Structure 1
Amino acid sequence: MRRALLAPLVCGALLSGSFVVVQAAPGPVVRGYSYGQHARQTVTVYGTKGPALVILHGGYWAEDTDWSEWASWFAERGFRVYDTDYRLNSDAPWDAQRADALAALRWVTARNGGARPLLLGSSAGGQIATVAGTYGAGATRVRGVVALSPVATPFRAWVDGARDGADRHQRRLRREAHRLAGCDPEREGRLCWARWADMAARTHASGTEDAPLFLVHSAEDFVPAAHSHDLADAQSVAGRTDTWLRVVPGSAHGAKLLDDGGVRSSVLRWLREHA
């Protein structure tokens, strides 16, 4: 598992698709499972009751990031949290990441008696989460999506990362988006453009068939709010009226947005309203 604080506490080996993590400190019960055959297709479950909340971490599609503290925080506030890993862009190109998210959502739904989970994604995980909520009939698989700094239009990140003055995060995001797509949109043909379009949540916006969305950025986020404006506008055109976009002061990105008490409270309230 990717979570360094939990790894030493794993009791036993991966047996029958599951392993149990024994905690050294008070907190929600934590267990780990596999939802597929790949080593990254794992879910760490926090808590034993409450509405299901699936978390998709960020990390430029290229690395794992630790959501264990926030997973515990949400579990302590009444959710059963499924902190979910997926194949990185070094493991497989798009659309493997969407396939993993959809497989994990099916796995979680089956474990919760058919009840659709909520979904929270951060940064690159926000891109996957917004696509999961809009691809096909997204509302049939998730009750609602919270996305923190979602890279909702990877082609926009590709363009922004080449601009004069692009910071190191934007330059890396451009490189990793290229690796995710597996092709150069400026040099390769129609199939490449189709893949880049498929990675954008706005491409799949279909209005009432999609899950409700709550999108959050900071004003100086290196993934600008324009990503979510693209998606919100596409949803509005398609007839979806409950896409919410919030932009807060500062430069916080992804999980760091939850350090703001106002953002934290609004996310928690939105999730409870849609549970």
Structure 2
Amino acid sequence: MRRTFLSVAAALGFLMSSSGAVVEAAPETIPYGGHERQTITVYGDRGAPPLVILHGGYWAEDADWSRTARWLAARGFRVYETDYRLNTDARWPAQREDVRAALRWIAADSPGRPLLLGSSAGGQLALDAATYGAGGSLVRGVVALSPVASPYRAWVDGGRPGATAQQRRLRQEGQRLVGCDPDRTGPRCWSRWTDLAARTHASGPNDAPMLLIHSKRDFVPPAHSTELAAAERRLGHRDATVRTLEGASHGGALMSQVDELVLRWLVKHA
């Protein structure tokens, strides 16, 4: 029944022009807060299952997910491509506050818990939403592509000899996000770093279902997600799955390899 609804909603995401051609309804960008980055771009039919996209970019830059948003809207979701303050705008936990404020706005537009799709740093934010407090009461499920589920692990990896340029950048931007060096400052700094990690907030059955995807040579390695999934399972979570692909694709580049897998998971959990 749910899949039938999704198919019908997909058809409603398009309009007929006067010439009879099918044209996509124009997306709308709406503020959910006072900062210029606190905006949501909405795609798809009102009443379709809500799906939130949180972009990556080292917490330091924007990324365009409009193509994926349109693709998912055409398959029956009401998609909310959500921006948030970057680490040059505000330090953690401002980004958590932005996501939660956006989810409150979305709840008024699309009643019911949304699904989340997050990439890289956006995957960290999506998993934070899924685990902070009783995450399952806030969101229906999370797909995370290369999520930085353990920013401290990224900090350590970025400081190793032979670290890639991407790993060094992630270490630098993580420090900017938190505002301190976890290995040289006191317990207050360390508590902010641990607060970033999804595993810190894992609560088993109270958390949302998760599909966590990496490549084997991802500069955010699968250990970020396997540690989180193991912690969730120890606490009784029954729907935390890690998939590891061949290659070195990261974040958005993974989406082209797993788009149908992601779509099936989203439909199942909608």
Structure 1 counterpart of 2:267, from 248, 256, 272: 272
Corresponding letter in the other structure for 1:271: L
Trace 1:84-163 onto structure 2 (pairs within 5 A).
84-113=82-111, 115-163=112-160
Matches of 2:23 and 2:59 in 1, distance apart? 32
Give the drift of 1:241: 1.5
Matches of 2:114 and 2:28 in 1, distance apart? 18
Structure 2 counterpart of 1:177, from 174, 179, 182: 174
Aligned Cα root-mean-square deviation (Å): 1.0
* Residues 188-224 of structure 1, C-alpha deviations (whole Å, 9 max, x = no match): 1000010000000000000011101110001111100
Q: Is the 8 A contact 1:134 1:210 kept in 2?
A: yes
> Equivalent residue for 1:240?
237
Unpaired runs of at least 5, structure 1: 1-24
Unpaired runs of at least 5, structure 2: 1-21
Corresponding letter in the other structure for 2:165: R
With structure 1 as the length reference, what TM-score do the two structures score?
0.89
Structure 2 counterpart of 1:201, from 193, 198, 201: 198
Q: Which SS does the other structure have where 2:142 is aligned?
A: strand
Corresponding letter in the other structure for 2:85: R
* Residues 37-75 of structure 1, C-alpha deviations (whole Å, 9 max, x = no match): 111100000112311000000000000001011110101
Give the drift of 1:29: 3.1
Matches of 1:48 and 1:55 in 2, distance apart? 16
With structure 2 as the length reference, what TM-score do the two structures score?
0.90
Q: Which SS does the other structure have where 2:23 is aligned?
A: coil
Matches of 1:219 and 1:29 in 2, distance apart? 38
Q: Percent identity?
A: 61
Corresponding letter in the other structure for 2:141: G
Structure 1 counterpart of 2:60, from 59, 62, 66: 62
Matches of 1:74 and 1:29 in 2, distance apart? 14
Give the drift of 1:104: 0.6
Structure 1 counterpart of 2:71, from 66, 70, 73: 73
Corresponding letter in the other structure for 1:108: I
Q: Which SS does the other structure have where 2:217 is aligned?
A: coil
Runs (4 or more) in structure 1 with deviation over 3 Å come to: none
Give the drift of 1:247: 0.3
